[in-house]
Structure 1
Amino acid sequence: MDTAAARRVRRADDVLDMQRAARRGGTGPVLRWLEGRTSVTAFLMDSAGTVTCPARTLLGDAERGLALRGARELTERRLGSVAIDEDGLTCIVLPLGGSRSAAAPLLAAVAPRPAPPELRLLLADASSVLYLSWLAEHTRRRQRRLTIAEAGTREAVLHLLMNGHTSAARQIAGALRPALPAMVRVYVIEGPPSFRGQLVRKLSDMTKGAWIVQCPVYVDHSFMLAPADDAPAPVWPPELAAVCWIGESGAVPLRETATGYAQAFHALAAARGRAERRASFAASPDLALTIGPAAAVWAKAFLLPIRTHRARRAQDPDGAELLATAASWLSFHSRATAHLKIHRNTLTARLTGIQELLGLDLHRLADQAALALALRSVTEQVPSPPEGDIAEAARTLPTVDELLSLPRVGEWAQQQFRPVTAPDVPACIAETLATWLRLDARIGPTAAALCISASAVRKRLARGEALLARSLLRSPSAIHDLWLALRALDLAEQTEARGRFAGLPGRA
């Protein structure tokens, strides 16, 4: 074989080797192959001299200076390639694939003089392979950024809905599609964190017009907002139902998405104990609606110090931010930092401000429950009293105990505990639940009071979750409603000598 033919064969082998390296890992392996083939220092850089794909060996000042000089001359003089010989070094700079796109990087190679004779031809061939590899990597990066941006926007829509900003959520959602429906059904799907990406794709394929968001608080949860108006129930794929638990809310107006989320979360707690791994929310009367207009008047006065609060400095939270923080903390506690996207020190400072404004101790379950009832009473559709009665009602505001002493509240409280006080349920379940609530939902003191282990307390509470179909050990939980129900039963016992609410054991 003559010399020219041998060179053509060698060049073809080199191009095949570069393509194999590109298939293994893109631009990095191609540059490493080029360095091993010619003993040069090869790297990618932009027109400003910033190295975007570094060389295997550390670049010295001389190599960097030559490469930057070559990049400037290539850009300013609009040349196809530049070769510079200086201080015993040869630097060759050329655009990838001959492209003059501002986004495409430059290929630079620095070698001691004299440079290998085949270097220029190898760099020309490598630039085409590197350009295709870089283009694929650049496209993937842009797709990832778009995916992250869309996920962040959908999460922002979810935050707006959870905080009651329905109009703003609709405007943002209208740009992404689908439009948010007037009535929604909320689903919370729990599965392995590694399965979340695949889960979102499957949910997108099986549901039309649904909003699917990865939960910002729990890494094993996904959130789906589906239309509830004449929409068929979703058919869950077998592979999804085999590894996930699914909680479903009732149909709620879009403005009550937060209520739907809490319902779906409670249904999820019930689904964990069922063979079908799915559950729908078991409807229960809402306490704010049970109390009626008095709850709305009381809540407005209770929250007045926050609602009228004005930030002293531009960076301080105003009343609306404090209310949103209170609602998030009551739902997620320490995980509210992930929900609100704030630092834990910021959360602590805001909670301190809330306690000072309202005169509460949020370490006490009683104060947490009062704040939760107030927030729900101003967001639920509780009918307001006639205008003429509001001023009179405001002068004689009832206390929380007076609201809980209403006869209809006693009936509501009995209904809350009925599943755990049934004759076929061991009495220790209700006793543990009542003790746990009285001790501010703390596992250790409850175990000490009952002379059992902490794991036994958790097992009994988990059994209580299945019976009540409500979440207890994971927020958002039903502990605030249950504490208020227990308090209502205690007040009824104190005022009624007959003790007709004595069905719950463990009462002091």
Structure 2
Amino acid sequence: MDTRARRTADSTVAPGRYDDLAAMHRLAVRRDAVRTLVQWLAERTGCWVALLNADGSVRHAAADLGAPGDAHETLREIDPVRSLAEGGRGSAVVDAGDCTGIVMPVPSRGGMLAAVGVRPLPEGVPQMLTDAAPLVGIGARMEDVERTSRQLEVAEARSREAVLHLLMSGRLSTARQIAGALQPQLPDTACVYVVECAAKQRPQVARHCAEATGGHAWIVRCPVYARHLIAVVPAHTGTTLAQAITDAVAECVVAVSDVVSLRDTATGYHQAFHVLPAARGSAERHARFSALTDLAALAGLSGAAWAAALLRPLLAYVPSRPQDPGLEELIATAHSWLSFANGATRHLRLHRNTVAARVRRIEELLHLDLTRLSDQSALSLALRIHAVPRAAAARNALDGATLDDVLALPAVRDWARLQVRVLGSDKAPSGMETLRIWLRHDARLSATAAALDISVSGARKRLTRLEEAMERSLLNAPSARYDLWLTLKALDVAGAMR
């Protein structure tokens, strides 16, 4: 191996150098400047060209058709002369077999620009690399800055998402601590907004939302739906935000919850999500949830006792191994899976096998079959009752209460009638029949279509019309299917008691 180190100090301008310099400077202002410059150098020199990190790893590389196939082997020979090049601030050249490699330091970055080609290299290659190195260095530095900026943006977005997740789980103290560091502070009462728009519009929507609320809204990109943006907005900010967003951003719709306490953020989110169908069908492109009393709040002592009995094996659960999920993780998984189904993997940022294993564990503990809508609905209601603070002291007040006992309460019966008040009206003349068949078949679209003797697309259209009439989401999670199953069950119980 013949190794030489030298300074590239030739001040003679080679023919065409000005054209090369002009071409390199044009490429240097592009967004992908480093990759483009390396590719251009490879094509211009007929070599394999690479930008190396300080540790010798390849950051960007490109090869011309005439470049040697064993360029990486020659690159290994460059290591012994790298220190010479760095120390002398010039180029280092190594000959290996029928190839020649050149390396030179990249200013302002600490890396190296390398080229490997078949001997003899075209005249002017060292000078070309010398001219390119500062531009590559600037481009690489800009890439580093952009990468760091993106990492910070992702970290902040994940932190904001974590705060929303804590709010949905009712863990207010931890949520407030993290929000206090990130700003803004979380309000005591709020409206939850769900904005549906193109994914690329979410930054624009977030900006308008922040400006319209004076920076007081807690804004999060939905981890489950790429077209959704979620905002927790202080209740005192007024009622004009939805109109302001739709005026500023074309082709978006806005759904707004009732005013809820911070502890009930999950309820507010479900309210806003369920009113999305009404917002889509509105000329104003926004809609507000019309207040319907929450079933968990109406369940009373009977509901608290029933929920406590159903959840007792889960609440008493202690993991047998350190790697097993704890109680809080199982409850969080249950909430997420009931709300988002397969989307729970994105919501929880867990592998689908992990989520499936946790769901199976919950089924085993509670002796439920969570493929059945009836068991899903019962678990959903029990978890919601369990989360009601004022129910805590009453959970053991009535032993032996059943779900039928809860659904037979007069307040629950009135609630059930309110849920289906539009069915049979001009808005949904055949709605009750469609709804019953859909729920009877565990909310499965294909089975519903077969039972109705219509196509799947026809069944979907019927349910879409029901969504608009009832102002509740049926086809997309989180769905109103649990409340509606409980609604029809309550009406059946009331009918049986006559």
TM-score (norm 2): 0.89
Distance change (3 Å), C-alpha of 1:345 and 1:116 = closer
* Distance in structure 1 (CA, Å) of the matches to 2:113 and 2:126: 12
Matches within 5 A, 1:288-437: 288-383=296-391, 393-394=397-398, 396-422=399-425, 424-437=426-439
Distance change (3 Å), C-alpha of 1:169 and 1:451 = same
Does structure 1 residue 32 correspond to structure 2 residue 39? yes
Does structure 1 residue 71 correspond to structure 2 residue 77? no
Does structure 1 residue 481 correspond to structure 2 residue 488? no
Deviation at 1:230, TM superposition (A): 4.5
Matches within 5 A, 1:49-60: 49-56=56-63, 57=67, 58-60=69-71
Distance change (3 Å), C-alpha of 1:84 and 1:371 = same
User: Counterpart of 2:93 in 1: which secondary structure?
Assistant: strand
Deviation at 1:400, TM superposition (A): 0.3
User: Counterpart of 1:55 in 2: which secondary structure?
Assistant: strand
> Which position in structure 2 is the counterpart of 1:505?
none
The CA RMSD over aligned residues, in Å, is: 2.6
Deviation at 1:294, TM superposition (A): 2.6
Distance change (3 Å), C-alpha of 1:352 and 1:115 = closer
CA contact (8 A) 2:38 2:61 kept: no
Match of 1:108 among 108, 114, 134: 114
CA contact (8 A) 2:428 2:465 kept: no
Deviation at 1:357, TM superposition (A): 1.0
What is the one-letter code of the residue matched to 1:95? P
Which stretch of structure 1 is more off in the superposition, 86-95 or 466-475? Answer: 86-95
* Distance in structure 2 (CA, Å) of the matches to 1:226 and 1:485: 30
Which stretch of structure 1 is more off in the superposition, 356-365 or 442-451? Answer: 442-451
* Distance in structure 2 (CA, Å) of the matches to 1:260 and 1:237: 19
* Distance in structure 2 (CA, Å) of the matches to 1:250 and 1:222: 17
What is the one-letter code of the residue matched to 1:488? A
User: Counterpart of 1:54 in 2: which secondary structure?
Assistant: strand
> Which position in structure 1 is the counterpart of 2:160?
154
CA contact (8 A) 1:49 1:71 kept: no
Matches within 5 A, 1:78-477: 78-87=87-96, 89-97=99-107, 99=108, 101=109, 104-112=110-118, 118-207=124-213, 208-231=215-238, 233-234=240-241, 235-237=243-245, 240-383=248-391, 393-394=397-398, 396-422=399-425, 424-477=426-479
What is the one-letter code of the residue matched to 1:191? C
* Distance in structure 2 (CA, Å) of the matches to 1:141 and 1:385: 52
Deviation at 1:379, TM superposition (A): 1.1
Deviation at 1:375, TM superposition (A): 0.6
Deviation at 1:258, TM superposition (A): 0.8
What is the one-letter code of the residue matched to 2:103? V
Consecutive unaligned residues of structure 1, counting only runs of 5 or more, are 497-508
> Which position in structure 2 is the counterpart of 1:506?
none
Q: Which deviations, in whole Å up to 9, do the C-alpha atoms of 1:87-136 show, x marking residues without a partner?
A: 46544322223x3x5xx421123355555554443332211221222222
CA contact (8 A) 1:39 1:111 kept: yes
CA contact (8 A) 1:70 1:82 kept: no
* Distance in structure 2 (CA, Å) of the matches to 1:310 and 1:67: 59
Which stretch of structure 1 is more off in the superposition, 184-193 or 375-384? Answer: 375-384
User: Counterpart of 1:229 in 2: which secondary structure?
Assistant: helix
What is the one-letter code of the residue matched to 2:472? R
Distance change (3 Å), C-alpha of 1:108 and 1:414 = same
* Distance in structure 1 (CA, Å) of the matches to 2:440 and 2:358: 26
Deviation at 1:266, TM superposition (A): 0.9
> Which position in structure 2 is the counterpart of 1:43?
50
Q: Which deviations, in whole Å up to 9, do the C-alpha atoms of 1:220-240 show, x marking residues without a partner?
A: 211112222355632524565
Distance change (3 Å), C-alpha of 1:292 and 1:19 = same
TM-score (norm 1): 0.87
* Distance in structure 2 (CA, Å) of the matches to 1:65 and 1:269: 62
* Distance in structure 1 (CA, Å) of the matches to 2:457 and 2:49: 61
Match of 1:494 among 489, 493, 496: 496
Deviation at 1:241, TM superposition (A): 4.7
Deviation at 1:336, TM superposition (A): 1.3
Fraction of identical pairs, as percent: 43
Deviation at 1:434, TM superposition (A): 2.2
Q: Which deviations, in whole Å up to 9, do the C-alpha atoms of 1:470-494 show, x marking residues without a partner?
A: 1111111111111112111111111
User: Counterpart of 1:53 in 2: which secondary structure?
Assistant: strand
CA contact (8 A) 1:472 1:478 kept: yes
* Distance in structure 2 (CA, Å) of the matches to 1:37 and 1:299: 74
CA contact (8 A) 2:75 2:116 kept: no
User: Counterpart of 2:422 in 1: which secondary structure?
Assistant: helix
